[in-house]
Amino acid sequence: MSAFFLFFMTMVFYVIVFWIASLGLDLVWSRTGIPLFAYYLYVAVGAYLTGLFSLPHVPLQNGVGNLFGFNLPGLLALPLAAVVTGLFAMFVGAVFMRRLRTDYLAVVMVAVALVIWDFSQNDITLVSGNTGLTNIPLPLAGVLHININQWTYLYTGVAFVWALALWWIMKTVSNSPTGRVFRAIRDDSVVAATIGKNVYRYQILSMGIGGFYAAIAGGFLAQLATSWNPSSWAPFEVFNVFTMVIVGGVGSNLGMLVGAALLQVLFIQGPTYVASNYLHSPTFETLAAAAIGVLMWLSLWFRPQGAVPERLKSTAWYLGREPALQETINPDLTVEERA
């Protein structure tokens, strides 16, 4: 296989992974109205847990190692890490969302993400500090006796199957009564509460589902790189995912795929390939990354609904209560006759 085909399959892998990540953020932010600027924290937690569940226990040597290691198969470690991360996201939401409004919640969650990021850099006993987790096993590679290139092609297919399943789940949730309540909370949480919906519980549920999706994406990233450390993630990388959601179209499952593909091909993976193989300069790659902010601004200015707009419905539909049918009025009648 050519080097270009390997790059192409790797880029497809990244598009699929960030499609999954965008679906989770879209549910939390676009559909429920929670400005979760710490979303990438859950991507990192999912990656760390996937590595810890996959790796054996490494005793501390010179203060470096990992206290936990379960040596589970990679195909089992990934969903297990996602479930634990989803529960962690629900716990965080339960702690901070009870008394904080959405704007204050956004600030506090960013602070939490920065604290955990700093902790992951300085603590050398849990996840080896700046060294991070290394030699994360490639799922199925040892069983099938395939090399890294063959594994990339195979696992891209595995990721695609995961993405299709998660897309179907998200579509089902969005069209369910629960999804309608999510949108009603986004539009006006007071109205949703007045109707009798427990806004607090639905917001926690949304956080849990979003955390699950983020962890799946993080686990795939860690398995592809076979490592994960603080340099692999930063809390502010969440704005790349926000851009994918905005450009693709908030509230649109298909739009998440479009947004992920546009950013990965034109602004992230594509410029990396061009810069390393043709221009031999990191400047082009840096400028392309900086242009992501310009893309977000242009999208918000000229097409705020995104490439694939959401199909809007009434708040009454979201709450499962269609408005009463109005009596048809004959325009030929006078005011007195209508009365």
pLDDT tens string, the chain, 339 residues long: the values are 578 889 999 999 999 999 999 999 999 999 999 999 999 999 999 999 999 999 988 776 665 666 678 889 999 999 999 999 999 999 999 999 888 877 888 899 999 999 999 999 988 778 888 888 999 999 998 888 899 899 999 999 999 999 999 999 999 999 999 999 999 999 999 999 998 999 999 999 999 999 999 999 999 999 999 999 999 998 778 999 999 999 999 999 999 999 999 999 999 998 888 888 887 777 887 888 889 989 999 999 999 999 999 876 655 544 555 544 344 444 454 444 544
Asked whether residue 130 is assigned to any structural domain, the reply reads yes
Number of domains in the chain: 1
> Rounded to whole angstroms, how far apart are CA atoms 10 and 179?
33
pLDDT of residue 335: 41
Asked whether residue 53 is assigned to any structural domain, the reply reads yes
Beta strands in the chain (DSSP E): 56-61, 64-70, 133-134, 227-228
Asked whether residue 301 is assigned to any structural domain, the reply reads no
Asked whether residue 240 is assigned to any structural domain, the reply reads no
Torsion 312-316-321-323 (CA) sign: negative
Q: Shortest CA distance to 257 belongs to which of 17, 6, 5, 8? A: 17
> Rounded to whole angstroms, how far apart are CA atoms 94 and 87?
10
> Rounded to whole angstroms, how far apart are CA atoms 189 and 70?
42
Asked whether residue 142 is assigned to any structural domain, the reply reads yes
Q: What's this model's pTM, rounded to 2 decimal places? A: 0.89
Asked whether residue 283 is assigned to any structural domain, the reply reads no
Range of the domain at 61: 3-235
